[in-house]
Structure 1
């Protein structure tokens, strides 16, 4: 059975993935998680094949952190041996450059956000100077360069939805024949429905995530204005902060549409508080052209919350038969409004769809279910049942 080294930057930001890795460790010989910062405690006492090693990241010192991450992974390869090195965020790039020194090791990388796709299809309406000088987008060009290099060097690439393969291949064509799909996961034991139904007179719509045009936020503002025009008493609760490029335009749009009392912003919250926010909402609305497979949609579904989502590959993969997510094309205010009106007319029907969404999460997208996919994948690539078409060149 394979021995795996996996990288994550923190614990607190990736708790559900940590749970997945612990579950996966039960199906393989050993899993070593090297983590930039052990910023919250983790009980792994029930997973004997799992261990964590803290790297000790320094803030705003990415090159140093990359070197430290690679050095620790390299020491593990020398002292304990491993069959698979699985990178995220490109932090093991220095080690990947030396992959030819380890011919028996399979080098894997995962991309949760595709920066090449973002720049060519999402942020292309902004000029390069503006993107480079805005704090929220300044790292996109370096990240795209790193993404390309990691995609070229890796033996295998993991994405979270089939439709994302074309997105990556449009920027790095060589990845098409070495890319694999393993869906996102969620801890369904933590993200659970409210024990009792909460209802109030005002319709509570919820958005969670980055706030900019790529997440359809201006679409949601137009949706709220149209709902008001149709006599719907609704509020939009937003858990997230506008980025530096969008902040001024968002404020101007809210004022222009007279939505000051309708749109309510909250900053970053702890996951326990976020769970209560999901539980108190009526509908989760999420539009995106920018994500991999957004975990917030999984969290909302696990909390048995009705979801209106855009036809993005990372959302469609969660409900390919369109049984419980209400879909709209990105930016289609009319369809989103009609979904909301239908919810008001048929709350019981939407509740049943939400229950089905929760059941689907429990069977297909829990940490345990997706962990089995990872364990099977690692076993297959180590046993050469899945071969890479990568040339192995590191120049």
Structure 2
């Protein structure tokens, strides 16, 4: 089941595309256009508009940088969750009864990598027959020079009840959710856009055998995690995505991927979570994480993520045997050997990761990924793996050069940056 894509264009007066039995109105009061970038001063034009849907300046008298405000009244005909969207080239916001439902900045009104639109979205609970005020603001001050655009969309009826009914009658439910990124499309929050979290929660309540497929650009919040049976991170898998995903969901293929990023437990974890680091203060961004990039930041700050870097599950289980590490000074490389055994009842794929902890005098991150290897084994199958670590990968920047600090190094095999299976100390230098 997938969230509805029939986002209709909201014309200020009538909803184009709404079903007749859910016809609803947005009663317009004014549309005001300003020559200032922030909606201040005397409007250059105040008029009645019939639409908020443009990709060129809707008023001839506007300068290169301008702003606008539309106000009106919405009378919903259905009680429940309503989804709104704004597709801007610039900065925009939507307030319903004074509450900000959608806001953000985009550099383009139409996504340049394909024929699809990716609007900003938000939801709000409304009551049938109860009129609410609507205010839309817009400025093209943040758009690419010479461009503008805004489309206001409204889904007047939530399709979540229909999804719940289908899930309740099914043996299992698969919910596909989506979040897209591109140039000029930084995310203002960590949650899935629109009503997708509500969709997952409602379907999972109706069917405990619910699988969530994340078709996302990166980590997202998972407030429903303990209520679903499984989560598959699909990323953007390309033309063969459907076939590959079906093979994993039906168990024909083992899910062999591992996370190349960390999923934080909440929006306060990880780098770039303060105003100084994102979006910056007075136009200046502070990169204060230093070398603690990615999973290293979580290790340095002792934060427990939702899913660590390198995490991933299989339809079988694996055991890592004892670890051996040797240093070849002439070749300037370390060899790490470990035996991997499939301890389950079917074929599966394991990704063995090797992390190194440098001597304290190196003042380095707590743990550094230095090698990994994927291995597919039949049930009860065993294989001895040999992984090579160049000594260069263990260096730090010191006194203007990359330097291998003499001392004791700890090499660990692991299933992720947080799940170590064996380790061995080795003196280098």
Pick the structure with more strand per residue. Answer: 2
Larger Rg: 2
If the length of structure 2 is used for normalisation, what is the TM-score? 0.22
If the length of structure 1 is used for normalisation, what is the TM-score? 0.24
Pick the structure with more helix per residue. Answer: 1
